[in-house]
Amino acid sequence: MSTRFDIRKAVSGDASAACALLRRSIEIGCKADHQDRPAVLDAWLGNKTTANVATWFSSPSNHALVAECGGELLGLCLLTQAGKLALCYVAPEALGSGVGRALIAAAEAQARAWSITKLHLHSPPSASAFFERQGYVNAGKDKSCWGLECDLLWKPLDAAGDTGPGAAARKRFCNCSG
């Protein structure tokens, strides 16, 4: 598989392919976490419908991104204005290709544009090391809304990449001349 891909804002027309990617990623890529336990898997997949994904993508309080190559979705990420990375999934065949890292970077750029200073997420244990490599701090165990024990991770965001009006002043925290 080529590792060339594009990151773009998701649109409601991506919902069907994105839903299929979410479900495959959870069923296959997160197998170590759900261990084929029907109750956990059914709860985790329960809200992963095309209609729900379309709603998430079209909500003005969300910023949804997809990674694609040749019209095929390789990953998706969903940031809320509350500073939560609600979704970050990569197709099993695209793991390790940089898709996840690129999606996170794009979501963090949007968070900065929204003046969000800290992001948080729930991660299944099998993916926590990936987020830690992206600078997220593991704050310990928590239960996800579907009942799986997950890691609660967070990351403070600085103003890196902030070049808008007043950016230099926001980076200063004292009146020193250095």
pLDDT in tens, 120-135: 999 999 899 999 999 9
Does residue 173 fall inside a structural domain?
no
Question: What are the CA-CA distances from residue 161 to residues 75, 88, 101, 166 (Å)?
Answer: 24, 22, 17, 13
Does residue 170 fall inside a structural domain?
no
With a pLDDT cut of 90, the percent of the chain lying above it is 68
Which residue segment(s) compose the domain that 56 sits in? Answer: 6-162
Q: pTM (2 decimals)?
A: 0.84
Does residue 167 fall inside a structural domain?
no
Does residue 176 fall inside a structural domain?
no
- Report the 10 Å Cβ neighbour count for 119: 23
Does residue 137 fall inside a structural domain?
yes
d(CA 75, CA 90): 4
What is the average pLDDT across 29-39?
86
User: Can you name the residues that pair with 137 across neighbouring β-strands?
Assistant: 154
Does residue 174 fall inside a structural domain?
no
DSSP H or E segment with residue 50:
helix 50-58
pLDDT in tens, 149-160: 899 999 999 866
